[in-house]
Amino acid sequence: MKYKKQLSLALAGAVLFGVLAGCHNSAEETPGLSQVEYDPQEAIAPYLDNLPEIPEADKDYVIEMGYNNCDHMVAAIIGQDTGLYDALGLNVNITKTGQVASAMASGDMVVGYAGFGGLINNYNKGARVIMPAGSHLGGAMYLVVSPEIESLDEVVGTTLDMGPDSQYSTFWLEICDKLGIPSDIGAYYQGSDMGDEDAMMALRAGQLDIFTCCDPYASIAEQEGFGKILATAWHADVKEDKSTGWGIHCGYYINADFAEAHPELTTRLVLAHCLAIKYMYQHPYSAGEMFAETFGTSVDVGLRTMYLKTNAEGRTLCWTIDESNMENYEHWYDLLGVPEEERTLVTDVDGFMDLSWLDKCGIEDFQTFIEEEGIDEMQPLGMSYADWLYMAETIDGIDHNSEVGKLDKWMENGSKTESPIEPYTGDGVYVAPMHNGEDSSQSA
């Protein structure tokens, strides 16, 4: 039986009441930004010779930029908060919205940070959009449950913020394969059309037991104690050392017509994007604060998010990208046995992925940056959260006696980011073709 279950008005009211009357809200704890030594003019200086002068007619051009409410988009706000846009002569108006894909398709926005699938669907329908650089590779999406849930038997049958249309979502299938639970949403769960933030509030209010999300919502749930992460999905066959095998999850996009008409602005926008990503590794504590301030959450959550995205899960935030990432993304459909008609694929990779802008702005390869800045020495992959936080405090001059970010559960768990749980004992377990001995090329 396939069906979709909407939240009732009563549930919606209970969620709202829970948000208004809740005993703890991380958004209330966001202080101002710490002062760090960072000069945007100095940051752009090595690249100025590559940058064409902005035409007089473009100097007052208002660039409409959008980003989704998700940690994968944090470069957008760092470009603004660090002064990089101003230093590069860019007049950028930033909007946080869940409609980036449609706004870029219509031309209302010319630059956007958004999920990969929505942009690809619009591109395949004729939207004039390019991906000029990488932004967020691999993963991650999280399965978050109530702390009272101690067995996967208790997960099955709950309401998910996913309807039957998500049946073949690669991150959902990956989670089911990892945990050994059924993947058929219609038969084993109650599907619901909630976004990440609404689902988080429902869990907080005790009206939901499980939801899937990106950060900051998973970290908020952990910090406030009303949820725990059970599994992380990558959208690709990421290697154990979290250094290769990346697919594409979210991206950085520019309107192709804008890029053709305003190449000088486009070159500078791409450079600002790359330098904003650099900042996350050069000033991780400050980047966490910026994330927290703009997303309206606590610095605890902002720091945890930066740890996950730049260390625990690998260097997932980076500007270097190539066709191998696209191939890994497509190969994941094969390995999980997703039917051809359910796949979101790029029909014209060369037309969509225009990496010439990386050359035009003169930015070095991401791995070159990592090596030259000694990032692997200062913050090697696999650091415990406690060690990473100490490092971040040191870099940005934060007193080590500060209690910010130092939740016992995070400080004591080393590099573990997923909570243990009793295995599932029922039927309908999903096993991906890559694990059940099938030829994955024939599984679809």
Tell me which CATH code domain 38-138+243-381 carries: 3.40.190.10
Q: Taking 70 as the threshold, does the pLDDT of residue 117 lie above it?
A: yes
Residue pair 440/335 in contact by the 8 Å Cβ criterion: yes
Residue pair 290/67 in contact by the 8 Å Cβ criterion: no
Q: Cα separation of 124 and 348, whole Å?
A: 8
What pLDDT is stored for residue 162 in this prediction?
Answer: 79
Which residue is listed with tokens 């909630």?
Answer: 194
Q: Cα separation of 249 and 174, whole Å?
A: 14
Helices marked H in 111-216 — which ranges?
Answer: 116-124, 152-155, 170-179, 185-188, 196-204
Q: Helix, strand or coil for residue 218?
A: helix
Sheet containing 210-213: give its strands across. Answer: 210-213, 141-145, 228-233
The predicted model gives 300-315 an average pLDDT of 94
What are 232's strand-pairing partners?
Answer: 142
Q: Cα separation of 112 and 253, whole Å?
A: 5
What pLDDT is stored for residue 247 in this prediction?
Answer: 86
Nearest-5° Cα angle at 418, 430 to 27: 120
Q: Six-digit token pair at 54?
A: 């902005």
Q: Cα separation of 228 and 159, whole Å?
A: 16
Considering the chain, what is the average pLDDT of its residues? 88
Q: Six-digit token pair at 198?
A: 């609404």
DSSP H or E run through 395: helix 385-395
Q: Taking 60 as the threshold, does the pLDDT of residue 433 lie above it?
A: yes
CA-CA-CA-CA torsion sign (419, 420, 422, 426): positive
Question: What predicted TM-score, i.e. pTM, was given to this entire model?
Answer: 0.90
Contacts of 360 (CB under 8 A, 6+ apart): 50, 263, 267, 270
Tell me which CATH code domain 141-233+417-442 carries: 3.40.190.10
Q: Helix, strand or coil for residue 418?
A: coil
Domains 38-138+243-381 and 141-233+417-442 share a fold: yes
Beta strands in 17-128 (DSSP E): 62-67, 91-96, 111-115
**How many other CB atoms are there within 10 angstroms of residue 6's CB atom?**
12
CA-CA-CA-CA torsion sign (300, 304, 305, 311): positive
Confidence grade of residue 376 (pLDDT, cut at 50, 70, 90): very high
pLDDT per residue over 78-113, tens digit each?
A: 999 999 999 999 999 999 888 998 999 888 999 999
Q: What is the DSSP letter of 347?
A: S
3-state helix, strand, coil in the chain (%, to 5): 50, 15, 40
DSSP H or E run through 132: strand 129-137
What pLDDT is stored for residue 29 in this prediction?
Answer: 46
Confidence grade of residue 2 (pLDDT, cut at 50, 70, 90): very low
The predicted model gives 20-27 an average pLDDT of 39
Q: Cα separation of 373 and 283, whole Å?
A: 12
Which residue is listed with tokens 């030259």?
Answer: 372
Q: What is the DSSP letter of 422?
A: B
Q: Taking 90 as the threshold, does the pLDDT of residue 301 lie above it?
A: yes
pLDDT per residue over 158-208, tens digit each?
A: 888 876 668 899 989 999 999 999 999 989 998 887 888 899 999 999 888
pLDDT per residue over 181-195, tens digit each?
A: 999 998 999 888 788
Q: Which carries the bigger pLDDT value, residue 132 or residue 33?
A: 132
CA atoms lying within 13 Å on the CB side of residue 336? 28
- The domains of the chain are located at 38-138+243-381, 141-233+417-442
CA 366 to chain centre: 18
Q: Taking 60 as the threshold, does the pLDDT of residue 237 lie above it?
A: yes
Confidence grade of residue 73 (pLDDT, cut at 50, 70, 90): confident
Q: Cα separation of 291 and 72, whole Å?
A: 11
Return the closest-CA partner of residue 235 out of 161, 144, 349, 329: 329
CA atoms lying within 13 Å on the CB side of residue 86? 8
Report the percent of the chain where pLDDT is more than 90: 69
Q: Cα separation of 13 and 436, whole Å?
A: 44
